[in-house]
Amino acid sequence: MRVIVVGGGVVGTMHAWQAVERGHEVVQIEREAEARGASLRNFGQIWVSGRAGGEELDTALRARELWERIGARVPGLGFRAIGSLTPVRNAHEYAVAEAAVARPDAAARGYKLITAAEARRINPALRGAFEAALWCERDAAVEPRTAQLHLREALRSTGRYTFLPGREVRDVAGPGAVRDDHGDVHRGDAVVLATGAWLSGLVRELVPDLPVRRVRLQMMQTAPLGEPLTTSVADADSFRYYPAYQSAALDALAAEQAQAPIAAAHKMQLLMVQRLDGGLTIGDTHEYEHPFAFDTLEDPYDHLIGVVESFLGRPLPKIRRRWAGVYAQCTDTTRVVHRQQVAEGVWLVTGPGGRGMTCSPAIAETTANELGW
């Protein structure tokens, strides 16, 4: 079988991986010289802890298993089974963490409510003030800026993979075929459009009423911290945004403990993970209304810096990079992904909504199974 994958991000690359693993030939087409969207502009977190139960959690857990397996074969991914800690500072936040640990699926997530002293033994860099922490053992991390490069290198070594950058696919040229802006037609037994947040052009023509929206966020990265941050770190505001934490305790938190005004205005949470070079990737904000702003704002960064420094008990290193990114999210946020046949032999896979890096191996596996690869 010959599979054409359109899109060079992590969802597209994982579809290429699944096809090659099953013995097929793959041509992957990317409109940029390299993928530049959400697959690079993210935390590189394999984030199991906050996922909704049922299909979403099953997908995240399967993806976590696949990431570890792929990481063992592709060391350049930088897969680390580091887990995550969410420090809590008062009775309301503690109650939300306590309710999470009482979930029937808490063991599958690796949840444990631990003391501040236990948290500091796991992550000694957390010298600031907090009372306890929610530990999620199943969370992990990879290096988002280089993951696709190393995956493609491994795919090329099979002799059954071709990467074609700098080509924008313009139209469907027949069953299992697409034409790019060079005029070349790429034919296969199946085409997967994994175009991420690029929802205009061909995607709009094929699915005018696509139930997917775009979300913008701001992030930043520091110079090396100078010591290991041995886990990912979130703050209690993340409880407000992830479905796993929904409970009466969360309702009480929302009613009695307002977010800081800047955090509420930008729908913020702290997520933080250390890169292999020692720097910290820190975020994030959420913007849903189009048209998106073209600039990045300093107040959200100032808020995040304050939260991080309060957990670390020390000043942050210099901020080296700031950026904004856009990802695609199903308008029905309970759906893991939008997967649709849009023409004969052509399928669209998009809208994982901030779950792309976490869930992409399992999303691609499901596509491969459903298409009978």
Average pLDDT, the chain: 96
| DSSP code of residue 290 | S
Mean pLDDT of 293-318: 96
For residue 2, name the pLDDT band (cuts at 50, 70, 90): very high
User: 182: burial class by Cβ within 10 Å (0-12, 13-18, 19+)?
Assistant: exposed
Q: What is the pLDDT of residues 43-69, one digit of tens each?
A: 999 999 999 999 999 999 999 999 999
List, in sequence order, every residue forming a beta bridge with 280; answer none if it has no partner.
Answer: 274
CA distance 265 to 242: 18
Q: What is the pLDDT of residues 131-179, one digit of tens each?
A: 999 999 999 999 999 999 999 999 999 999 999 999 999 999 999 999 9
| pLDDT score at 106 | 96
CA dihedral (275, 276, 278, 284) in degrees, to 10, reads 0
Q: What is the pLDDT of residues 23-38, one digit of tens each?
A: 999 999 999 988 888 8
Q: Is the peptide bond before 291 cis (omega within 30 degrees of 0)?
A: yes
pTM of the prediction?
0.96
| pLDDT score at 290 | 85
Q: What are the φ and ψ backbone dihedral angles of 273, each rounded to 5 degrees?
A: -145, 145
For residue 129, name the pLDDT band (cuts at 50, 70, 90): very high
CA distance 5 to 14: 10
Question: Residue 132: in which H helix or E strand, if any?
Answer: strand 132-136
Mean pLDDT of 182-210: 96
